[in-house]
Amino acid sequence: MTNVRLFYQLNLSFGALLLCVLTITAVLLYPLLSQTIVDRQRQEMQTQGGILMSFAVPSVAATPAESTRLPARPTVALNESTIATVLYAPDEQVIYSNLPSAEAVKWIELSKQSKLDQGIWREEDDNYIVETASNNGLTAVMATPVSEIQSLQLSLFLRMLLILFVSAVTAFLLSTRITKRLVTPLADLRKELKKVEARRFSEVRLVASEGEIGEVANSVYQLAGVLEKYQLTQKQFFQNASHELKTPLTSIQGYAEGIKDGIFTEESAEKGLNVIVNECIRLKKIVTEMILLEKLESEEGIFHMEKVSVQDLMTQTLERIDPLLVQKGLQVRMSDSGKEHTICADREKLLQALINILSNAARYAKETIEFQASANDNRIVIEIADDGEGISDELLPLLFQRFAKGKNGETGLGLAISRAIVERCNGQISARNQPDGGALFTLHFPKSSL
């Protein structure tokens, strides 16, 4: 319905505009056309008078009313028969006339009077455009009925109106077609936006169009994809969060009720209390990391960007995680290009991200972890690789999402936190399996411009 309303509104507006243009054109064109025809006719009359006088011989006797006409160039604006012509000598002897004798004498008398209004003689039956020309004692009087001029004016005006009308109809039909091409994708785009409003993101389709409308349609389609992915992530988050929180709460509730009811006593009760304490610690860690991740992804002003040395950051990361490495008997090979590399980041938060990634590598590595940095064009690359079994194909696409964890994972939030930190520091993080086995985490950062 909206499509139809918009279509008719646009066409009605364009039609009204065309009507206004045609009306204004007609109002301005009609008097201009009249003046143009009159001026052209006067020029033609002057030209014909000059030709008559150039061929006339003063000594020739007056011609009868029906005498043969002298040679004359044909008129352009009107046929020559519409021009009343009288050529006479100073003694009023008619040398040439295409009028009856009485009419010729009448026009000779009229030419001597000063009753002409802007070159027009006004009579009861008609008005005449009058022109006189004199040369070598001869005088030519020429007159054309204004009614003939008006007839020609009306004929030309109607023809021009017909041309304008045909042009307007053609323009209107073309505008209707163009309007339909514009309105149809807009209406389709509105339908897709209604789907977005109703949260039916998976049903949104790409509207085929060109230009700015096509760009908007493509943006809406991409937005629907992002929102669908976000909605799915949110559902998975609540499902995973409820599962992760339910497991420790179930253990806590079971042991607590068992101790309360006397089912667990002495050593069993002590064991149950230890489980409760450990599960509370684990529960607290999950909640803390969930809150941290939410802040990292949404809150502004919590990142304090500064110029950070990559080498110092890597050294500090190893110092923080060294106890875990010693415990597992792992060796870390750290290397860089030998040059000082700096990036713009929040030192403490990026340090936490590297600790999370390196801890994850230590959890799955067998003997060795590679920790290196290099420069590539205007970017700094940090790589962390282990010699473990690698990442399963099912987990790899979901690795940086919340609660995505492998068989030895803890909360499933560590890598999601690392991703949020790296991206907020204008970096990118990715993971893949190495051909020789093991996982490889790659971090890309732009070089510092501070």
User: How far is it, in rounded angstroms, from Cα 265 to Cα 213?
Assistant: 74
**104, 65 Cβ separation under 8 angstroms:** yes
Q: Quick check: 385 and 369 in contact, CB under 8 A?
A: yes
Confidence band for 440, pLDDT divided at 50, 70 and 90: very high
Q: Rounded mean pLDDT of 437-443? A: 91
Tokens coding 292: 């941290």
Q: Is residue 70 scored above 50 in pLDDT?
A: no
Q: Average of pLDDT values for 366-374?
A: 90
* Token code pair at residue 363: 């959890």
pLDDT at 85: 83
Q: What are phi and psi of 406, to 5 degrees?
A: -85, -165
Sign of the C-alpha dihedral, residues 76, 82, 83, 88? positive
Candidates 307, 278, 340, 245; CA nearest to 448 is: 307
**Cross-strand pairs, 333:** 370
Average pLDDT, integer, range 312-331: 89
Instruction: Look at residues 279, 207, 245, 191 and name the one whose alpha carbon lies nearest to residue 403.
Output: 245
What distance in Å separates the CA atoms of residue 359 and residue 363, rounded to the nearest whole number? 6
Q: What pairs with residue 139 in β-bridges?
A: 88, 134
Mean pLDDT of the chain: 80
CA distances from 109 to 53, 106, 115, 141 (A): 19, 5, 11, 10
- 9-41: per-residue pLDDT in tens? 777 787 888 888 888 888 888 888 888 888 888
Asked if the model's pLDDT at residue 332 lies above 80, the reply is: yes
How far is residue 411's CA from residue 417's CA, in Å, rounded to a whole number? 11
Q: Choose between 297 and 307: higher pLDDT.
A: 307
Bridge partners (DSSP) listed for residue 31: none
Strand 368-376 relative to strand 331-335: parallel, antiparallel, unpaired?
parallel
- Measured in whole angstroms, the distance separating CA 328 from the mean position of its chain's CA atoms is 58
Cβ count within 10 A of residue 17: 13
Q: What is the 3-state secondary structure (H, E, C) of the chain?
A: CHHHHHHHHHHHHHHHHHHHHHHHHHHHHHHHHHHHHHHHHHHHHHHHHHHHHHHCCCCCCCCCCCCCCCCCCCCCCCCHHHCEEEEECCCCCEEEECCCHHHHHHHHHHHCCCCCCCCEEECCCCEEEEEEEEECCEEEEEEEEHHHHHHHHHHHHHHHHHHHHHHHHHHHHHHHHHHHHHHHHHHHHHHHHHHHHCCCHHHCCCCCCCHHHHHHHHHHHHHHHHHHHHHHHHHHHHHHHHHHHHHHHHHHHHHHHHHHCCCCCCHHHHHHHHHHHHHHHHHHHHHHHHHHHHHHHHCCCCCCCEEEEHHHHHHHHHHHHHHHHHHHCCEEEEECCCCCCEEEECHHHHHHHHHHHHHHHHHHCCCEEEEEEEEECCEEEEEEEECCCCCCCCCHHHCCCCCCCCCCCCCCCHHHHHHHHHHHCCCEEEEEECCCCCEEEEEEEEECCC
Walk me through the domains of the chain, giving residue ranges and CATH numbers: 2-152 (3.40.1840.10), 211-298 (1.10.287.130), 306-446 (3.30.565.10)
Q: Residue 45 — very low, low, confident or very high, per pLDDT cuts 50/70/90? A: confident
Q: How far apart are CA 148 and CA 141, in angstroms?
A: 18
Residue 136 CB contacts under 8 Å (≥ 6 apart), including other chains: 53, 58
The pair of structure tokens assigned to 221 is 């389609």
Q: Using one digit for the tens of pLDDT, what is the confidence trace for 260-284? A: 888 877 788 888 888 888 888 888 8
Mean pLDDT of 425-448: 90
pLDDT at 144: 83
**What tokens does 361 get?**
């590598």
Integer Cα distance of 36 and 157 in angstroms: 12
pLDDT class of 118 with cuts at 50, 70, 90: low
Residue 44, pLDDT score: 84
Return phi, psi of residue 221, to 5°.
Answer: -65, -45
- The Cα–Cα gap between 244 and 414 comes to 14
For residue 35, count other CB atoms closer than 10 A to its CB: 10
Tens digits of per-residue pLDDT, 218-264? 888 888 888 888 787 777 777 767 767 777 888 888 888 888 888 87
